[in-house]
Amino acid sequence: MKPLPRNKVMQKEKVTSLPGIKDPGRSPVQKIKKKKPALYLLALFIFYFLVLFSVQFFRYIQLNNDLRALNREIEAIEQENAFLSQEIERLHDPEYLEELARGRLGMVRRGEILFYIQDAPVNP
């Protein structure tokens, strides 16, 4: 190959940078490629804490629902307990005991006669 004459030697052209790009030697695509591992790590970090948060949030909702159900059950048991306490107090009253014995057991006092009245069968 023949060497080029000195007057025809190619000169390097001066490259001017575009506005907003600091280093004309690198393209914006190359800059993003260098940041990808850090972005992946950041995305993984955010995803990890998002999963942790969502699992704990759903567990909180479940426990809150269980707490409400248990409070309703406690309230029902307290109402039943209050009713039974009143029943115990009434069982100490002789008149109430007599009423129960007559109504539920069909008992009568000495000298009383118990009559059972049956309805006549209806024939159409």
**Integer-rounded Cα radius of gyration of the chain:** 47
CA 68: distance to chain centroid? 12
Q: What is the mean pLDDT of residues 81-85?
A: 97
What is the pLDDT, as a whole number, of residue 112? 83
Q: Is the pLDDT of residue 116 over 80?
A: no
pLDDT (0 to 100) of residue 14: 59
Average pLDDT, integer, range 27-47: 74
Please tell me the distance from the alpha carbon of residue 79 to that of residue 87, in angstroms, as a whole number.
Answer: 12
What average pLDDT does the chain have? 81
pLDDT exceeds 60 at position 9: no
Judged against a pLDDT cut of 90, whether residue 72 lies above it is answered with yes
Rounded CA-CA distance 33/38 in Å is 10
Tokens of 104: 């539920």
